[in-house]
Structure formats: C-alpha cells, structure tokens
Structure 1
C-alpha cells in the first residue's frame, strides 16, 4: 500500500533538497514552521529545540548586584502571607512524633540468653592455658565483648602450634590491631585453620591487608571474612593491594571484604572463581 502526502508518494520527498526548500520560504513561513516543530525532538540541535520566542528587546547586560538588591527590596515590600493559625511562641504545631515501641522478638530473647553467658565465659577464660583458649575459640567466642588483649594474645600464641582448630570466629569481639600482630604470625605457621571470621571489629585497612598477606605462606585457609570494620572504607590503594594478594593465593575460595573499586572487585571475583573451578576439576577427576 502506497502512502501519499499532499497527493505525492512519500518516497518522492526523500529526493527533495531540504536546504533548497527552506531557502524558498518567507520569514513568516519559517516562523510558522519553527512553531510547529516538536521541541522534544532529540534529533534537533539544542539551539532549535530551545528557541527564544521572546519579542521584548533586551534591557541590557545582567547586573547581578542590582538584581539581588531588587529581589531583597521586593521581598521587604511584600506583606506576609496570611496564616490560618497565628504563631504563638513556645507552642508546637502539628502532631508530635513519638517512636513506636518495639515488640519483643525471639531474636531479642536469644540475644539476652547469649549475653547472660558472658560471666561463664569470663570464668572460663581466667587461668586458661593456651591450648584451652584455642579449644574455647572453637566453641563460641563471637559476640563476646569482655575478652582482654592479653587473652587474645594468648589465644593467638596457642594457634601457632595448634593442629586441631579449623574454624576460628571472632566476629564482634572488639578486636583491635594490637593482638592481631600475633595472629598474623600464627596464620603464617598454622596449616590446619580453614576458616577465619573477624567481622564487625576495629581493624584498620592496613591490618586487613596484612591478614590477606599472612595467608600466602601456608595457603591453607579457604574462607576469610573481615567486613564491617570501623572504619569501613579501605581506600583505593589498599583495595588494589588486597586484590593482588588474592591473585597470588591458589587456595582461598571465599572472602568477605567489601570493595568499592570495580577493578579490585572483578579481579578478586575472577581469582576466587578460578580457585573454585580448580577444586571442582580435581573432584570430578577423582571420581
């Protein structure tokens, strides 16, 4: 079916020279055409989409100081808007916001039960040997807030020679950089630890980088979680250093670190995928 416009086949208009056609229009016809043009047409240049249609002659160059003085003078001359309710000092208007009371949940009750055990853990920590501290670490040190730096150091000293502990979780225990210096030494010696969780503590970005680096000598840890520290931002330099260290680790399968740099995040994800694929290939080959 042929489409016609003004009695002509629409394909014939493709051969018409638009510039030649516009040159034959009068100023009045050009003005009428510009008013009919769609201003939201993205194919038109901005100068034509935002055509100035003001007929008033310009009053002169913009004087910012005079404009501000005029606006200030105009604002002072205008009367205040009438209020439905006159202002009275010391009286609050509208509804006063009050927070909703939180209902007790099973999670809150479980948390209270767990916190009630702190005294028992404190008694267990007093006088415990390095081996006993390591054994205690395997059962539930996370969320315990009264562990001193000395006890952390004794725990990490015992970890250097321990051959039984495979999972060490120290999340939200107010762990700082000081005791971690001994943990770094233990990680370089211990070949049996498979999972380390130090999330939600007070470790600096440099310490987190050193933790990743300490995994390289033995390459036995499969999972490392260090997210939600205070401060939380690692910085571009530290993130790139961590990504390079992860690329040197052929054993690490999971890592809990938030990367803001896309390059570091992609590198780490690719290396972890490579390590997981290697484990899968070995498992399939063994079958």
Structure 2
C-alpha cells in the first residue's frame, strides 16, 4: 500500500528543502514580517513570553509596575463594570436546562447486594460450626483488621479469650483510649554533663538530653568537641532537643573520631 506524498501549495515538501529562508525573509517589508510573526509560533523556550505572544500593546509605558495600584484599578473596574444582562429574564419556578432524574434502583441498594463465594463443603461446615472467637482469630490470620476492633485484634495475637461483649456485635464499637501519665521533665544539667564528658568520667556511660528545651548551639558544640576524646560514654540520647542540620554535621564528625560510643539516638 503506497501513500501520496504530502504537498504544500501544490508542491511536494521535498522541493522546499533547498529554499533559502533568509533570502525570502529579506524580500519582505517590515509590515509583512510583523504579520508573519503573529501567525508563526517560534516554539523557543529561550524567548521571553512577551516576544512569543501575538498580542501587541501600542500604548506607551506609564512607569514602573506598582502592584498595589494595579490591584486597586482592577477592583475598581470590576465594581464599576455593569453585569451583562441575561438573555432570558429569571422567572420563579421555571426550570432551565435539563433536570436531573435519579436512576431507578428497583428497591435495592448497593449495601443489600450479596457476594457469592464458592467454598468447599469441608470449609463451609467448619465455618458454620465456628464460634465467634474462632472466626475473629481467623480474620486476624487473614489480615482482615478492619473487621475487628483493637481489643479483638490484640487478643488474637496474644492467643487470649475475647473480652465479654466484644464478639462480632462489637466490631464497630470503638475502644476507650488508654491514658498514660506525661513523662517527667528531664532534670539533666547540660553544663555538668558536658564537664563530665570532657573529663572522661568513667561512671558516665549513658547521657540523656531528651526533651531538654532551649539548649544553646554553644553547648551542643562543646559536647561534640568533648565527645571526640571521651573513652567511656556508650549511649547518647538527643531526642526532641531542636538539633539543627549544622549541629548534626558536627555530631557526625565527632562520631567518626569517637571509638567508644555504641548508641546514638
């Protein structure tokens, strides 16, 4: 099957390959070049949008851009410009356009549809005679976590009996959240701990600065400098202390030189 070659103005496209585009453009007047520029998209991402847009504004510039005055002018024009009149006047009770009609459901809803599952007779008999506790355990094994509440799920994991009143009838019932007392404030003294790390105290094996607020960058830097020469500290905890990326970099440098620290969190 052969296809006819593409043509432009009655000529094959191959005949335009040898044409000198610059020579053709030199024969056009400035007005013709302006018209041609409006019709042709240069498709060059390096050109600014103002040079690719065919719209030309002949007004002279009034000065530099003033964003506040521009927004005020737009708001003023929007308030002063009258709304376009409607082609058809509004009449109360008149329905315009096509009215939406709900499809017929034949008295059934999606929730009433049942899914038929083909189960062997052996498994069907086992499920028919299973108790609620056994079915809940089976749901936990199969990963049907959404069918169980939290108490049922953990009871299945721990191989414990189901709580009273929390069978399948209690699947959708929320459990009361457990209230845990707040953690006591951290009483560690940063200045004293830095001194003990610097002095290489053999009794200081675990240093916990967790949740201490407003530790200055200078104290962090002093701790990391002292950490380089320390040979006894094994655990360092810095959770929720506001450690910045710059200080984390200094900590990484200290960890490269320290040979005793085993845990840093």
Task: Give TM-score scaled by structure 1 length.
Answer: 0.40
Q: Which has the larger radius of gyration?
A: 2
Q: Say which structure is richer in helix.
A: 1
Task: Give TM-score scaled by structure 2 length.
Answer: 0.43
